[in-house]
A and B are shown apart, each in its own frame.
Chain A
């Protein structure tokens, strides 16, 4: 019996046993950097490594984390969702408006509308085969227009009534330490992580991103999978909008502009490939936290404006993408 045993050309490209180093770096590189940054800031800055500050950082970026979660699925299929930013703003305004009719309405309306916009994205991309970039750019503008019409071109700011159940929940803390928004984020990420890595649906998401044609030939329901990820992304945007409305106590119309790009950055920093087929939910969480921690540090250091954060994030993104391309180039090609 002849055998086809793998011979990897070239020495040094791989540790002799187990997972190759390059793969570990790609998977956990962001976590490594986060740890280093946390330690360095803890040593260098007073009051940084306190439960209060860390909770503040984490809760403050909860909405970004939820957007990044939805974005992760989309990017793993090889797509992109530019509509989440305005969709998120629309969700916030709708939640604040609907809060006068009770918490259930404030929850249901944004999820329904934002989910529908996501579904529309999915159908246009998967069935009508439009490019994700253009499709979500169009729905981004559409959602923006919808939000302006709801808020009288931004002149009306709906306020959440005092004493709403969701307001106290959003501002509450488990054991007086962990804010409930952070808890919600963690629960959503665990569910998302299991869905992506441990279910057949998740395998389909990877397969579609790996090679759409191959996936179709292997029997993967490509159109259904793509429709699903954009819907999930829309739902995430809606949920994040609700969270933000009750966090701020009002539907702020300008909040959310350009946040889709932050979500994309966080996902990419977390190790997910923009080309699709490779990525993980936990990485996106780490990516979000890394961006938030950097912002917190910059805010803490006197003399640096918060605008500086964008510069650091930009530089960081380039470094990550550069490292990724280096890592994938070092992949042994047989």
Chain B
């Protein structure tokens, strides 16, 4: 599928990368053209991250050629790639939170004055550079004081002001608010205008179609498709990524949630009343019946995660009661909540969930140990039984129970975590962004699992920034804003439009309303990402 768009800035031919036991890249071609945004898609484990790391000198390559401006190139270190004009923004914003914003921006190329760093000039230039990205902060403050969105912009400004020819973004929007995504897209537009080639990696297909010109689909270390994105149907793109038949994808829908669940009557599985925590929650109440999936909607920072943490005993409350099946949770803290039958799957699975160095078996059994032991001694037989049950039931792909969790894909890690909590036999399951950062296939499986669990009579609280997932997965959606409930949708009224509307209405503050007074049919104040 070669196109005649002149010489690519960066051309890769037949890239091969082997890791012990696997061929992560099996001869991948990639052409990046100036002024075009190139989407890189594929399931987790398809080779996207490896490809980026091979391109930017983090990993060495085991075969293939790389050309920069038509000349053979190869980078031994990230620094070399940077000097050659390849700027990368890695998935987890990789900057230094303790250093000032300006220092992060200029690290390695500080303006000098007689060999010493010229701080006044550095601060001035940093403020100017960030202004272009819509970030207006005191650049002398530590980066850690900034929101994730602003940090991402700093990372971007850092990459681009290094006179980059190619800018690579690995999942840049995974921690951004819709407003910030909008700013990011504006910046990408400007990069494109300046003739910079952009590589854009994301699991969010809507974003790809909004911002990308070309696409390369990776599967199992091969580039299975490459070409313009515009003519490519969304269904076909998903089919390419999954290596599945298109008709099969169409039949299953974009998400794999079934319709409404049979919600049992009687006592709610969970009742939370007037949860209040200073600055975070202002009297949030909700209940979940057995077999029901309740979604929590709202923007980042609206109190969704805090609500889940409060219910799970992980957030100190000034006020509020939590009851499971009508019985109030006795005591405080996570241990009390777990005893009462509440399990929380946290948002940040890397830092708050899995223990990477331990095996699948140990990770699953971790929380259930007290239940699996007698007189303080662990029964190996019972642990084995529980582990094999859940590995089978959740379809966890691992070489065996003894494989280390860090070697599994993101989706399987998430399933291991889910298994850990299910091993406790909970009555209520709180899922905070259960499908973030995992590939399409695993996402579908996790969604199907949520359905199955609800059918088994669990009460499920689902938090997701993916509106589609929320709408299709939840029977009811409670909308939060600034730590308070501002709306609820149920039954047939749970639609994406209604949800966007509810969030937007909740968000409209008087100040914003003044601004949009301008004309009839003014745009909604917050552009909710969909």
Contact = CB atoms under 8 A, between A and B. Distances in A.
Interface stretch (A57-65, A126-134, A192-200): A192-200
Nearest to B134: A3
Most interface-central of B147, B149, B279 (chain A CB within 10 A): B147
Given A8-B145, A203-B110, A334-B145, A219 B82 contact: yes
B90 interface: yes
B486 interface: no
Nearest to B279: A10
Given A217-B78, A278-B98, A332-B145, A6 B137 contact: yes
B241 interface: no
A334 B148 contact: yes
Chain A facing B: main interface SS: loop
A278 B88 CA distance: 26
Nearest to B80: A219
A211 interface: yes
Interface string A1-27: 111111111100000000110000000
A197 to B, nearest CB: 8
A213 interface: yes
A191 interface: no
A204 B117 CA distance: 13
A79 to B, nearest CB: 15
Nearest to B109: A200
Contacts of A273: 98
Contact of A6 (B112, B147, B182, B279): B147
B187 to A, nearest CB: 10
A293 B232 CA distance: 75
B97 to A, nearest CB: 7
A212 to B, nearest CB: 10
Interface string A273-295: 10001100000000000000000
B107 A218 contact: yes
A8 B82 CA distance: 33
Contacts of A278: 98
B134 A217 contact: no
A179 to B, nearest CB: 29
A217 B58 contact: yes
A2 B179 contact: yes
A218 B58 CA distance: 11
Given A3-B183, A6-B137, A10-B279, A210 B150 contact: no
Contacts of B402: none
B180 A4 contact: yes
Given A2-B183, A4-B150, A194 B116 contact: yes
A217 B90 contact: yes
Interface residues of B, number: 46
Contact of A9 (B94, B99, B279): B279
B79 interface: yes
Contacts of A7: 147
B116 A199 contact: yes
A10 B83 CA distance: 41
Nearest to B117: A198
A215 interface: yes
B70 interface: no
Given A6-B150, A200-B117, A331-B145, A214 B94 contact: yes
Contacts of A332: 145
B21 interface: no
B98 A206 contact: yes
Interface in B99-120: 99, 103, 107-108, 110, 112, 115-117, 119
Contacts of B107: 203-204, 207, 218-220
A206 B104 CA distance: 10
Contact of B77 (A2, A20, A219): A219
Most interface-central of A6, A8, A206, A273 (chain B CB within 10 A): A6
A220 B108 contact: yes
Contacts of B99: 203, 206-207, 210, 277
A16 to B, nearest CB: 12
Nearest to B136: A5
Contacts of A198: 116-117, 119
B468 interface: no
B108 A200 contact: yes
A104 to B, nearest CB: 29
Nearest to A197: B117
Interface in B160-186: 179-180, 182-183, 186
A4 B95 contact: no
B144 interface: yes
B135 interface: yes
Contacts of A209: 98
Interface in A73-110: none
Interface string A160-203: 00000000000000000000000000000000001001111001
Contacts of B95: 214, 218
A6 B78 CA distance: 31
A334 B146 contact: yes
A209 B98 CA distance: 9
A39 interface: no
A199 B94 contact: no
B145 A1 contact: no
B153 interface: yes
A216 interface: yes
Contact of B97 (A5, A19, A199, A210): A210
Nearest to B182: A2
A199 B111 CA distance: 10
Nearest to B77: A219
B96 interface: yes
Nearest to A209: B98
A245 B149 CA distance: 56
B102 to A, nearest CB: 11
Contact of A213 (B94, B103, B141): B94
Nearest to A221: B79
Interface in A260-282: 273, 277-278
Nearest to A208: B96
A199 B144 CA distance: 22
Contacts of A333: 144
A218 B159 CA distance: 9
18 contacts: A2-B134, A2-B183, A2-B186, A3-B183, A4-B135, A4-B183, A198-B116, A198-B117, A211-B97, A217-B88, A217-B90, A218-B94, A218-B158, A219-B77, A219-B108, A220-B107, A220-B108, A334-B145
In the A-B complex, the 4 residue pairs with the smallest Cβ-Cβ separation, listed nearest first, are A210-B96, A219-B79, A334-B147, A277-B98
